[in-house]
């Protein structure tokens, strides 16, 4: 463990390396297709792997169409969905990347497209050809593909949802009290990404209590308000509902709400506890409200519509983060491409009321402030954090973070020694950690302003974390190209934040894990219920050993390394109590 006096120079150099795409080896998803490997920022663009597995029809031939066999078209389509659709959109109408509809691509022509795919562009297009990611033959195929009409992947409405819906244990057959001796409040649900499973690990004994099959490349876990049910969402849009009262905890219901998805949440408002669940999809662009006990799909709403500022039509606005309001019986759903935050009132699904807030484009992840009233969400490609007042249902501020591509996870709340209550986010594109004042009543001068910028280990950070009882703010950097940095975590002492550029302690988490092979990345800290320990995933390739490293918050020393052959590619961890009560 070493203390770094100031890290700005180190961080600056790394940030430059990130922007230039120097030496950024390895894709984000350790075993997924080599997604956009040129820069970590690009590596973080969605890969629509499930959609890529669906066979698509070769569009009817039009005059001037390049020759493509159905087999070639399907192969090209798979590559497109896995590597290109995240930026250019499933229907090629553009998202963070440019539109690639035939009217545009035909104007550009085959040779131009081929060069573009081969060499990339300074604006962020990876150099697929010269990097060796695509063969010459694939580059040729991918230059012909966008000249044809876009493939239209299938919709997923109520008939498809109902056909996928399974109640494995009906509510009347479930236990009426907790049947196991697990301390549920201190249980961690750990994403085993490439295994498509979650491991339920006891926060007191570090024992794996159950490993449960979930959706493909499972993404996040969320809890019902009572804490009894755990919900997971797979990238294949499968929602899995696990009853933590059973012995051992087991899946009681599942449903597929689309083809690609990333978010799930449950109703939290008083007297609506455990009543509903909601999940948001990337494809088709929609969200669905489900029964909170059985996952029966009840209400599906498409997000297709106008972009908030330009007021032009977007055919596939993806649903990013969803949280449950504590002030109203509402879900807060963030729609990426149209830049809208939807406050979905769930009290009357027949006469649905939605307050549509014009927020900012490219909304991604976010979390509440410490009072639970304000929701702060990153419009990551715009370098901003939007602040939504969930009591008044309106946008109160759009804060420029000053860093490149904010990525807060749910963020981190703590009381700053000078500025009062703040919320923190780190950045994908540089080493900065931005602290935003969140107390409009007690500290009105600082509210919704950047009050301080800290400098962490380097760019490529995904998550920050603290706990009301902790004296530290932890910042990871899993996408940093330097293995020493991606294998470490910076721990800032909150008391030291009176200094302009406070020191931090480097925790060599990957080294502590003692893993001999591979290049594991250290990702997403999560506290135990008591706020005395923080757990980090040491995320290695699926055929290599991974681990979870537990750090003592007070002394910043290693407390425990959890290893088990079942811990395949651990990433996100969700402590039941903290997730349930939005403690972060």
Distance in Å, CB of 584 to ligand DHE, minimum: 7
The one segment of 119-127, 132-140, 317-325, 483-491 that binds ligand DHE by CB under 6 A: 317-325
Least Å distance, CB 388 to ligand DHE, is 14
Residue in 14, 17, 28, 113 binding ligand DHE, rule: CB under 6 A: 28
Stretch that binds ligand DHE, among 43-51, 297-305, 342-350, 485-493 (CB under 6 A): 43-51
Least distance from ligand DHE to the Cβ atom of residue 170, Å: 28
Q: Which of 84, 141, 241, 343 is catalytic?
A: 84
Q: Please report, for residues 82, 242, 566, the alpha-carbon distance to residue 239 in angstroms, rounded to integers and kept in the order given.
A: 21, 10, 22
Active site residue 125: yes
Structural tokens at position 309: 């500022």
87 is catalytic: yes
Among residue numbers 237 through 276, which ones bind ligand DHE (CB under 6 A)?
Answer: 262-263
> For this structure, is 407 an active site residue?
yes
Stretch that binds ligand DHE, among 59-67, 171-179, 316-324, 430-438 (CB under 6 A): 316-324
46 binds ligand DHE (CB under 6 A): yes
> CB-hemisphere CA count at 13 Å for 142?
24
By CB neighbour count within 10 A (0-12 exposed, 13-18 middle, 19+ buried), where does 557 fall?
Answer: exposed
Residue 565 is encoded by which pair of tokens? 């052959």
Q: Give the nearer residue to ligand DHE in terms of CB position, either 87 or 139.
A: 87
Report d(CA 159, CA 497) in Å as an integer.
55
Q: State the Cα angle at 8 between 379 and 367, rounded to 5°.
A: 30
Each residue 394-433 as x (binds ligand DHE by CB under 6 A) or -, in order, gives ---------------xx-----------------------
Mark 130-169 with x for binding to ligand DHE (rule: CB under 6 A) and - for no binding: ----------------------------------------
3-class SS of residue 315: coil
Q: Cα dihedral angle (292, 293, 294, 295), rounded to 10 degrees?
A: 20
Cβ 513 to ligand DHE, closest distance in Å? 17
Nearest distance in Å: CB 321, ligand DHE: 4
> Which CB atom, from 15 or from 87, has the smaller least distance to ligand DHE?
87
CB 70 within 8 A of CB 58: yes
Rg (CA), the chain: 23
Dist CA 343 CA 394 (whole Å): 9
Pattern 164-203, ligand DHE, x by CB under 6 A = ---------------------------x-x----------
Q: What angle do CA 424, 418, 430 make, to 5 degrees?
A: 30
Catalytic residue among 36, 68, 87, 141: 87
The pattern of x and - marking residues 510 through 539 that bind ligand DHE according to CB under 6 A reads: -------------xx---------------
**Size of the residue set binding ligand DHE (CB under 6 A):** 24
Distance in Å, CB of 340 to ligand DHE, minimum: 15
Count of CB atoms within 10 A of residue 302's CB? Answer: 15
- Candidate segments 1-9, 44-52, 77-85, 392-400, binder of ligand DHE by CB under 6 A: 44-52
What are the strands, taking DSSP E only, across 257-337?
Answer: 260-266, 276-283, 286-291, 297-302, 305-306, 313-314, 319-324, 330-335
- Per the annotation, the verdict on 88 as an active-site residue is yes
Tokens of 20: 């230039």
Nearer to ligand DHE, 194 or 291 (CB): 194
Q: Taking CB under 6 A as the criterion, which residues in 443-472 touch ligand DHE? A: 462
**Quick one: which of 7, 267, 321, 338 contacts ligand DHE (CB under 6 A)?**
321
Query: Sheet of 472-475: strands edge to edge?
Result: 2-4, 504-507, 489-493, 472-475, 464-465
Task: Answer for the pair 280, 287: CB distance below 8 angstroms, yes or no.
Answer: yes
- CA diameter of the chain: 71
Nearest to 361 by CA among 420, 318, 418: 318
User: Going by C-beta distance under 8 Å and a sequence separation of 6 or more, which residues neighbour residue 61?
Assistant: none
Which secondary structure element, helix H or strand E, spans residue 303, and what is its range? none
The smaller minimum CB distance to ligand DHE, of residues 331 and 419, is found at 331
Q: Name which of 469, 527, 529 is nearest 185 in CA terms.
A: 529
Q: Min. distance of Cβ 336 from ligand DHE in angstroms?
A: 8
Nearest approach in angstroms of CB 228 to ligand DHE is 20
Q: From the candidates 36, 407, 443, 467, which is the catalytic residue?
A: 407
Binding site for ligand DHE (CB under 6 A): 28-29, 44, 46-47, 191, 193, 219-220, 235, 262-263, 320-322, 364-365, 409-410, 462, 523-524, 571-572
Mind telling me the catalytic residues? 84, 87-88, 125, 364, 407
């Amino acid at each position: 463990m070493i203390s770094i006096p100031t890290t700005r120079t180190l961080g600056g150099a790394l940030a430059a390396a990130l922007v230039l795409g120097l030496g950024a080896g390895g894709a984000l998803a350790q075993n997924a297709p080599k997604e956009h490997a040129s820069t970590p920022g690009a590596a973080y663009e969605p890969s629509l792997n499930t959609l890529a597995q669906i066979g698509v029809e070769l569009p009817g031939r039009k005059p001037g169409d390049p020759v493509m066999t159905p087999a070639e078209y399907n192969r090209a389509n798979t590559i497109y969905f896995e590597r290109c659709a995240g930026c250019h959109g499933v229907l090629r109408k553009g998202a963070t990347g440019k539109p690639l509809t035939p009217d545009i691509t035909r104007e550009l022509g085959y040779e131009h497209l081929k060069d573009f795919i081969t060499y990339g562009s300074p604006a962020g297009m990876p150099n697929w050809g010269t990097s060796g990611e695509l063969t010459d033959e694939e580059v040729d195929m991918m230059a012909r593909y966008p000249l044809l009409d876009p493939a239209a992947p299938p919709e997923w409405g109520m008939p498809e949802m109902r056909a996928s819906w399974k109640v494995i244990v009906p509510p009347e057959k479930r236990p009426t009290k907790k049947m196991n001796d697990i301390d549920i409040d201190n249980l961690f649900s750990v994403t085993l990404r490439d295994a498509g499973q979650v491991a339920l690990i006891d926060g007191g004994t570090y024992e794996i209590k159950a490993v449960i099959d979930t959706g493909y490349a499972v993404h996040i876990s969320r809890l019902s308000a009572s804490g009894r049910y755990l919900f997971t969402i797979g990238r294949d849009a499968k929602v899995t509902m696990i009853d933590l009262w059973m012995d051992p905890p087991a899946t009681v219901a599942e449903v597929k709400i689309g083809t690609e998805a990333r978010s799930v949440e449950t109703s939290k408002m008083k007297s609506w506890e455990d009543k509903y669940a909601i999940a948001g999809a990337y494809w088709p662009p929609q969200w669905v409200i489900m029964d909170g006990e059985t996952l029966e799909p009840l209400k599906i709403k498409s997000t297709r519509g106008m972009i908030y500022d330009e007021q032009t039509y977007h055919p596939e606005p993806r649903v990013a983060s969803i949280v449950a309001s504590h002030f109203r019986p509402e879900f807060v759903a963030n729609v990426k491409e149209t830049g809208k935050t939807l406050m979905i009132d769930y009290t009357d699904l027949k006469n649905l009321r939605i307050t549509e807030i014009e927020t900012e484009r490219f909304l991604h992840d976010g979390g509440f402030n410490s009072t639970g009233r304000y929701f702060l969400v990153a419009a990551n490609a715009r370098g901003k954090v939007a602040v939504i007042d969930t009591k008044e249902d309106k946008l109160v501020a759009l804060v420029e973070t000053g860093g490149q591509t904010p990525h807060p996870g749910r963020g981190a709340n703590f009381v700053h020694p000078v500025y009062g209550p703040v919320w923190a986010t780190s950045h994908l594109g540089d080493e900065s950690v931005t602290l935003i004042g969140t107390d409009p009543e007690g500290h009105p001068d600082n509210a919704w302003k950047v009050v301080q910028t800290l400098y962490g280990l380097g760019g490529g950070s995904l998550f920050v974390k603290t706990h009301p009882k902790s004296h530290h703010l932890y910042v990871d950097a899993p996408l940093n190209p330097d293995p020493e940095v991606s294998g470490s975590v910076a721990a800032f002492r909150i008391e030291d934040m009176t200094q302009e550029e406070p020191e931090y302690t480097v925790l060599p988490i990957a080294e502590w894990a003692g893993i001999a092979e591979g290049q594991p990345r250290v990702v997403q800290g999560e506290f135990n219920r008591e706020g005395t320990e923080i757990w980090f995933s040491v995320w290695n390739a699926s055929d290599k050993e991974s681990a979870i490293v537990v750090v003592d918050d007070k002394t910043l020393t290693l407390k425990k390394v959890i290893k088990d052959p079942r811990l395949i590619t651990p990433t996100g961890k969700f402590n039941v109590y903290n997730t349930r009560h939005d403690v972060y």
